[in-house]
Amino acid sequence: MSIADRKPLTTVVLLPDGVGLRNFVLGPFLNEMSRLGPVHAFHLVEDHALDMYASRYRDSVQWHRLLNMVDTPVTNVLRRSISYAQMYWVDSPPMRLALELPVSGSLRSQVAVRLSRAIGRICANPSRMGMLERAHVRALANSPEVAHFRRKFEEIKPDVIFCSHQRPPHVSYPVIAARQLGIPTSTFVFSWDNLSSKGRFATPFDHFLLWSEHMRQELFRFFPDVTPERTHVVGTPQFDPYKDESLAWSREEFFARIGADPKRKLICFSGGDEDASRSDPYHVRALMELIRSGRIKGNPQVFLRPAPVDKGTRYDAVRRDYPELLYERPQWLFGRSEATNYLMPKPEDVQFLANLTRHADLNVNFASTMTLDFSIHDKPVVNCVFEVTEKPLFPNRTLWEFVSGFEHYQPVVKLGAARMAYTREQFADHINAYLADPSLDREGRRKFVELEISVPVGQSSRAIAATLQRIAGRLPAEAGAVNAGEAAAHRR
């Protein structure tokens, strides 16, 4: 059957946060899906900003509002209990760290958290977590919000539901409504650290779309109820713009935009979120001191880019003391709420980041995803994990102990994809070595990218579109996607 002869595929895409907009709206994905049939995008974008996204698609995408989560005392405790149960069961260092956080807030909130932790500890195994999930679904099933989405889907008649992020709680309503109507549901596991360091999914899904075979094996390990035929390796579309030559600027144009000299080397310092990357302002200061003193050779320029969730004020002192530090916040907009769900990317930020990762000569970060962004462009990365204060920034942990506890980051070290700076002296030495010879550790970077992204960069959106067709029954099952060896490994 030719593409022209196929019945149009009607797709519902759930976009519960700004990262979903960046990955699936500001890249080629919606165009891929709209070629197959009607697309209905459910989002949290405020009315005044919606045209920034909708104008890219004219009439090929219909836009609808998602509903915020409205918890009752029962659904609140059940939802938290499921997440805590996963943390107690997996017991990874990041999860232990989350469970050590003090309980704060109103008395009602503290009671809910303490009760949820107690239930989570009791239910910390897969069968009891499944019981909690079923109870949570039953508690939501007759809510007005689920009824709202059931009416919407009866009108739209979608063939498949696709969620861009598996964890925001408000996706529970449309996913439960879809499952009540027998519509297949799927979710994208949106980040490489989510399975080993975060809690349970917001609600049960039928299918899981994953970055790599490595991530698929993690899913089997942490979610043993998931069977192989429900998993699909599709890469990740967040990096697709890096292969889009229509977005590329020349080195001269990019340097002019940031006020830099294209004849000098450029170091990009990528900040993390304020909670997990508390050392960033101190490490930026150390970098600038080492350059000013001549310990880092060649007088390179430094461009500081905070994380989108960071308003950047914590860098004010170092920017004042080092006016030569180049700086620009990501072009993301805070909405009426400062919750991260309402932080929305502007289209121009996608192009800016694609060119920053293309033209910077070296990246420095505190163990963030930007290690992967720059490795895709074969750019060297230094992770600064040396102590910056007399008192540890994390309770009872050095910075290196904090980083090494994240299982998802261990392949970076094992494969030699980036160099770890355990002291200020090493920090300078690694930067000098990479600036002198950027080909150092190239093989480690290549292996790291291949491990984390099993579909070639630039082809993920097409792979997801094909997968959704298969889930909807419009294409045959993936040949060889679930072989006997994989199934046997899963059963073991």
Q: Is 256 a domain residue?
A: yes
User: Is there a single domain that holds both residue 270 and residue 402?
Assistant: yes
Q: Are 189 and 208 in contact (CB under 8 A)?
A: yes
Compute the mean pLDDT over every residue in the chain, rounded to the nearest whole number: 91
pLDDT at 482 (0 to 100): 39
Calculate mean pLDDT across residues 228-248: 95
Amino acid at 442: R
Whether pLDDT at 197 is above 70:
yes
Q: Are 159 and 472 in contact (CB under 8 A)?
A: yes
User: Is there a single domain that holds both residue 119 and residue 159?
Assistant: no
User: Is there a single domain that holds both residue 410 and residue 326?
Assistant: yes
User: Is there a single domain that holds both residue 115 and residue 154?
Assistant: no
CB atoms within 10 A of CB 56: 14
Give the total number of structural domains in the chain.
3
The CA distance from 383 to 418, in Å, is 7
Q: Sign of the CA dihedral 458, 330, 351, 252?
A: negative
Tens of pLDDT, residues 263-308: 999 999 999 988 888 899 999 999 999 999 999 999 999 999 999 9
User: Is there a single domain that holds both residue 291 and residue 408?
Assistant: yes
Confidence of residue 4 (pLDDT cuts 50, 70, 90): very low
pLDDT at 276 (0 to 100): 80
Whether pLDDT at 22 is above 90:
yes
Secondary element (H or E) of residue 470: helix 460-471
The percentage of the chain sitting over the pLDDT mark of 70, rounded to a whole number, equals 94
pLDDT at 478 (0 to 100): 62
pLDDT at 473 (0 to 100): 92
Q: Sign of the CA dihedral 132, 138, 144, 150?
A: positive
Confidence of residue 108 (pLDDT cuts 50, 70, 90): confident
Q: Which residue has the higher pLDDT, 479 or 10?
A: 10
User: Is there a single domain that holds both residue 412 and residue 340?
Assistant: yes
Tens of pLDDT, residues 303-351: 999 999 999 999 999 999 999 999 999 999 887 665 666 789 999 999 9
Q: Is 177 a domain residue?
A: yes
Whether pLDDT at 447 is above 70:
yes
User: Is there a single domain that holds both residue 66 and residue 77?
Assistant: no
Whether pLDDT at 416 is above 50:
yes
User: Is there a single domain that holds both residue 273 and residue 324?
Assistant: yes
Which of 82, 107, 135 corresponds to the end of one domain? 135
Burial code (b: 16+ CB inside 10 Å, e: under 16) for 450-472 equals: ebbbbbebbebbbbbbbbbbbbb
Q: CA triplet 210, 213, 216: central angle to 5 degrees?
A: 55
CB atoms within 10 A of CB 433: 15
Amino acid at 133: E
Q: Are 36 and 465 in contact (CB under 8 A)?
A: yes
Confidence of residue 486 (pLDDT cuts 50, 70, 90): very low
Which of 112, 135, 158 corresponds to the end of one domain? 135
The CA distance from 204 to 183, in Å, is 13
Which of the 8 DSSP states describes residue 394? Answer: B
Tens of pLDDT, residues 143-184: 999 999 999 999 999 999 999 998 889 999 999 999 999 999
Joined together, the tokens standing for residue 144 give 């007005």
Tens of pLDDT, residues 80-107: 999 999 999 998 888 888 888 888 888 8
417: closest CA among 454, 383, 458, 386? 383
pLDDT at 339 (0 to 100): 63
Q: Tell me the Cα Rg of the chain.
A: 23
User: Is there a single domain that holds both residue 328 and residue 445?
Assistant: yes
Q: Is 241 a domain residue?
A: no
Q: Determine the 3-state secondary structure of 2 from DSSP.
A: coil
Secondary element (H or E) of residue 40: strand 39-43
pLDDT at 338 (0 to 100): 59
Q: Which residue has the higher pLDDT, 195 or 284?
A: 284
Q: Is 221 a domain residue?
A: yes
Please give the torsion angle defined by the CA atoms of residues 364, 421, 407 and 234, in that order, rounded to the nearest 10 degrees.
Answer: 30
The most distant pair of C-alpha atoms in the chain lies apart, rounded to whole Å, by 69
Residue 435's φ and ψ, nearest 5 degrees, are -65, -35
The CATH number given to whatever domain includes residue 367 is 3.40.50.2000
User: Is there a single domain that holds both residue 290 and residue 191?
Assistant: no
Q: Is 11 a domain residue?
A: yes
Q: Which domain holds residue 188?
A: 3-70+143-236+456-491
The CA distance from 172 to 158, in Å, is 17
Calculate mean pLDDT across residues 371-385: 96
Within 13 Å, how many C-alpha atoms sit on residue 174's CB side? 30
pLDDT at 400 (0 to 100): 78
User: Is there a single domain that holds both residue 296 and residue 434?
Assistant: yes
What is the CA 204 to chain-centroid distance, rounded?
19
Whether pLDDT at 74 is above 60:
yes
User: Is there a single domain that holds both residue 59 and residue 77?
Assistant: no
pLDDT at 59 (0 to 100): 87
Specify which residues 268 forms β-bridges with. 303, 363
Whether pLDDT at 78 is above 60:
yes
Q: Is 328 a domain residue?
A: yes
Calculate mean pLDDT across residues 460-478: 92
Q: Is 402 a domain residue?
A: yes
